[in-house]
Structure 1
């Protein structure tokens, strides 16, 4: 018998296990940093190997191919996000204390990431770009997490005469909104220094607890009528590509919305795609431009109405949520911004920030008018952007509600009137 065949002491075996685990975690953290800078498309085994001081063959000992490493990075992000929203060490907290604890954990994680003490969270929407069975497994796990958040928030009774579902349906909508607000905060927190995080956390907590409306004031779901448009031209028009690409990016992420899938949805060849568009990045730019233009048009139409600023804001939100939840022509989800390649991400984020500032202006005017509660307009406007652009996740659950208006109200109400409204 060779000496290498002899049983190893338990301590030695455990040491090897620990070394394997630590190196694997370092590789996943490096992948998360690379994805944060370059998007899932830019993840490479060569780049990750260089970041952890290994050669590529050594990395493949842990992850045979890039897709397995991408899956591990997304799963790690989901596990870390679960520790933020579903802490095991605080099961006794009531709904209000639970919300404050979640925000505290979220800002602590954001600060640690900013100081490079922890790797960035890989964008959870990237799970949509993974191949099966990983894609379905992780999406299912995420929705199970949202359901647990709904249980922690607690039951919520429907208000008489509003058409709301109340109970589990409304709690689920509130849980989804909370998760969406936390996801989107990773984009707009870049505008603040870490030293300002305590004040931002306090202002966000106040907004989520009490909402935008003054005490006792409600709001109506009143979307603007869709303006008549000419019928789209038949065949492979650029507009057709934009509609299909937007839906696929929302459903499968930037990486998952391949040229092959887009052309296949339209039953056309890849050659036809390149006849109309020079490349995928140009297509994504056009999708964002189309979505941003629709938001801008809605903001201007609402602002021109002879209504209070509160009613104008409610009208704009109702209209945009109607588009998101209708399923036919949704807006491109803004969380896709975080997964864009670095060469086109700044342009898209800057455009999104301009839309947020317009909402901030509406909120500021409403505060001055007395129809909107005194909140931080910059933070509130970013929450409005997150509310609108992540609402597509609720479309698949629309069957739980008696009408689209009831779903819109249940989903938006925690931001409009608060998770725990006064009086």
Structure 2
């Protein structure tokens, strides 16, 4: 699906961002143009995905000729690399500045505040690192790993100094990073979610949620009562043609969703998907028209599962807060286990509009459902007063980012991870 030249592998050491970046001075005119190019590209990549964003489109957005864009990058792959590199550099700057704060909790919150500052220029979500050449991908991974380690260090400092309660520090740091990523992706899925007013509200709700959690009972720990494996497909009759066909489609959609979640949609080829099943592309084309159809079908399967989780949470929970958190718990289990529904990715705007609009409508209905459950929790006293609409939206960041960092052989297991992430939302990180 790539329409640009092969990515360059010449990456020398100078492009690796330094461990402790200095604050930027006033950029040159050349630097300002490059910043504008990377900001426009990052916004487009987040909304449309890589495949649907061309250099010509970026040039048109900026009122430049395509030749002018080639002054800064050789091809689209290099533009993606520079956007990812810039995102890592800015995160490193935010971490360095936040490190000047006092306690571990204060450092963590200062970082979130900087990263979600309203009106800040867009940065690319690192969802397609495998799209890059191996050398460029290694540069981005090294920079990102260093940033993640710094944030984990903030949380560990907080646990040591008593400002953050004991927790799995890696899970806490990655949940924060997932929240930041979702803050950049959520506007394309939700109505009235663009502009500084929404950004300010998202920031305030995220800080409140991650600091203090949702519960009015600071002693109790949340543990989900439902096992997500019960939502796995039931046994089928291999001698029934329709049953056998449905199962093969389910296997295709599950395998594709798992790879899309881990590596990104553009970075995952149809060959990789079919190879993971020991099949050929001919089998895939027997059931699906093309990759766009496959992506849309994966999203539709994903929302089928999200809606089933929400219904189960509403049926099995006691108070309003428990019902809302059961949904989160099931979604984490699903991403860490065998279900792996396709989570919201960059590139929604590239889908055909009738299917895109239907998916957005389903996402909004789910957000409204969890908003209603949280409002019920506030009313029944199980949930403290919060911005329920924003919290219902923010919760997706905890499970949607999970496939990007969780190793396939992670010893914690789906239920333990679900308990840990749900408990971050339940009690927050602040020691009480």
Shorter-chain TM-score: which interval?
0.7 to 0.9
Equivalence for 2:234: 229
Q: 1:102 to 1:88 in 2, by over 3 A?
A: closer
Structure 1 equivalent of residue 49 of structure 2: 39
Work out whether residues 52 and 347 of structure 2, in 8 Å CA contact, stay in contact via their aligned partners in 1.
no
- What corresponds to 1:208 in structure 2? 210
Q: Closer, same or farther in 2 for the Cα pair 1:312/1:236, shift >3 Å?
A: closer
Structure 1's 111 and 398: CA in aligned 2 closer, same or farther, altered over 3 A?
farther
Contact map agreement 2:259 2:273 (CA 8 A) in 1: yes
1:352 aligns with 2:363: yes
2:283 counterpart residue number: 272
| Residues in 2 aligned to 1:71 and 1:404: alpha-carbon distance in whole angstroms | 32
Match of residue 132 from structure 2: 130
Inter-CA distance 389–370: structure 2 relative to 1 (3 Å threshold): same
Shift of residue 90, structure 1, vs aligned partner: 4.4
* 8 Å Cα contact 1:45-1:66 kept in structure 2: yes
Q: Offset of 1:300 from its aligned partner?
A: 0.8
Higher mean C-alpha deviation, range 35-44 or range 381-390: 35-44
Q: Deviation of residue 234 (structure 1)?
A: 7.9
For structure 1, the 5+ residue unaligned runs are 1-16, 113-117, 159-165
Aligned 1:215-364 pairs, distance under 5 A = 215-216=217-218, 217-224=220-227, 226-227=230-231, 229-231=234-236, 233=244, 237-305=248-316, 307-326=318-337, 328-334=338-344, 336-337=345-346, 341=350, 343-344=352-353, 345-364=356-375
Compared with structure 1, are the counterparts of its residues 350 and 93 closer, same or farther at alpha carbon in structure 2 (3 Å cutoff)? Answer: farther
The 5-angstrom pairing of residues 381-392 of structure 1 reads 381-392=392-403
- For this pair of structures, how many residues does the alignment match? 387
State the partner residue of 2:107: 98
The SS at the match of 2:423 is: helix
CA RMSD of aligned residues (A): 3.1
Structure 1 position 49, deviation (Å): 3.7
**Corresponding residue to 1:70 among 67, 80, 93:** 80
Task: Give the aligned partner of residue 182 of structure 1.
Answer: 180
**Once structures 1 and 2 are overlaid, which stretch shifts more, 348-357 or 234-243?**
234-243
Q: Distance in 2 between matches of 1:58 and 1:320?
A: 45
| CA deviations over 1:50-73 (Å, ceiling 9, x no partner) | 445554445334322221122112
Distance change in 2, residues 1:199/1:296 (3 Å)? closer
Q: Following the alignment from structure 1 to structure 2, what is the Cα–Cα distance between the partners of residues 97 and 172?
A: 18
Distance 1:416 1:49, change over 3 A: same
CA distance, structure 2, for counterparts of residue 207 and residue 235 of structure 1: 41
Does residue 410 of structure 1 match 2:410?
no
- CA 1:275/1:29 → structure 2, altered by over 3 Å: closer, same or farther? same
Higher helix share: 1
Greater C-alpha radius of gyration: 1
Deviation at 1:179, TM superposition (A): 0.9
Does the CA-based 8 Å contact 1:146-1:175 persist in structure 2? yes
Return the alpha-carbon distance in structure 2 between the equivalents of residues 235 and 223 of structure 1: 26
Taking a change above 3 Å as real, the CA distance of residues 393 and 34 of structure 1, as seen in their structure-2 partners, is: closer
Where do 5+ consecutive residues of structure 2 fail to align? Answer: 1-26, 237-242
User: Is the 2:330–2:418 Cα contact (8 Å) retained in structure 1?
Assistant: no
Distance in 1 between the 2:112 and 2:178 partners? 13
The answer to whether the 8 Å contact 2:152/2:170 transfers is: yes
The alpha carbon displacement at 1:45 in A equals 2.6
For normalisation by structure 1, the TM-score amounts to 0.80
| Pair 250,365 (structure 1): closer, same or farther in 2 beyond 3 Å | same
CA, structure 1 residues 142+223, in 2 after alignment: closer, same or farther (shift >3 Å)?
Answer: farther
Q: Deviations over 1:154-177 (max 9, x none)?
A: 34669xxxxxxx97x711111111
SS of residue in 2 equivalent to 1:399: coil
* Partner SS for 2:97: coil
Within 2, Cα distance between the matches of 1:300 and 1:213? 22
| Cα drift, residue 20 of structure 1 | 5.2
